[in-house]
Amino acid sequence: MSDEQGLPATAAGIAPGASRLSGRRILVVGGGSQGVGDPDAPPGNGQAIAALAAREGAAVAVVDVVSEAADETIRLIEQNGGTAAKLIADVAEPAACERLVDDAAGALGGLDAVVLNVGIGAGLKLESTTVEMWDRVFAVNLRSHFLVARRALPVLPRGGSIVFIGSVAGLRPGSLMPSYDTSKAALLGLCRHVALEGARRGVRANVLAPGLIDTPLGRVASRLRPGRERAAIPLGRQGTAWEVAYTTIFLLSDEASYVTGQVFVVDGGLSMGAF
């Protein structure tokens, strides 16, 4: 089964659910629609993850800093018969990070898993990156992940899962934003520690590192840096947010019950450096 572009049904986001997360309660931080108001925009990674988790049977708490962005994802979930709750939070604020975990658990009647998808970039090259830019990026891309994970670990039950959405920019330079690349690289170290502590409680933690994915933010990045889309991707195309989402669902599900502290790369072979 495929769409008119020849993509598999899963990559196109049109495959039916298989109840892989039935009964689970999942918090998706950064789950709002990045293409708010644009009917032609593809889903972002967070929106696709939230929508697919609901399709697979989970109740989902969608967190975003923009109310309309969260509303659009929740509308998509509810149109397909899913259950969702909206939470608004600016994860650059430390208090908001702990509050959103408690609010999600309250709204869903508990919490089984967390996906941390939120991330920003600022400042091209070293000379254009200010201290303020650096600190803001690290507050959102790394400190918030630490704070949410710290609060979530005591809440999650045995068999729970935390998925950090990183980037191939954390494995090799390429975004031209030193704050972004460095924060994504540091996320791998944070994940390993969370996985180590979580293992004692039966909670897993992994990083998913997407490459060039066709999302609203990806299209903005391509307009700012046209050479981005000329990268040599062995599979010959950009990925879709649904392909990121399906790997995330695997990591959240019991199918990955013996997987923790690992980095899963979804990049069509880009990070191999093949030419």
The residues annotated as belonging to the active site are 180
User: Residue 238, class by beta-carbon neighbours within 10 Å (0-12 exposed, 13-18 middle, 19+ buried)?
Assistant: buried
Cβ-proximal residues to 175 (8 Å cutoff; 6+ apart), any chain? 121, 167, 169, 181
User: Residue 269, class by beta-carbon neighbours within 10 Å (0-12 exposed, 13-18 middle, 19+ buried)?
Assistant: middle
Rounded CA-CA distance 144/39 in Å is: 31
Residue type, 187: L
Answer yes or no: are the C-beta atoms of 113 and 156 closer than 8 Å: yes
46 — phi, psi (to 5°)?
A: -65, -40
Tokens 């909670």 -> residue: 203
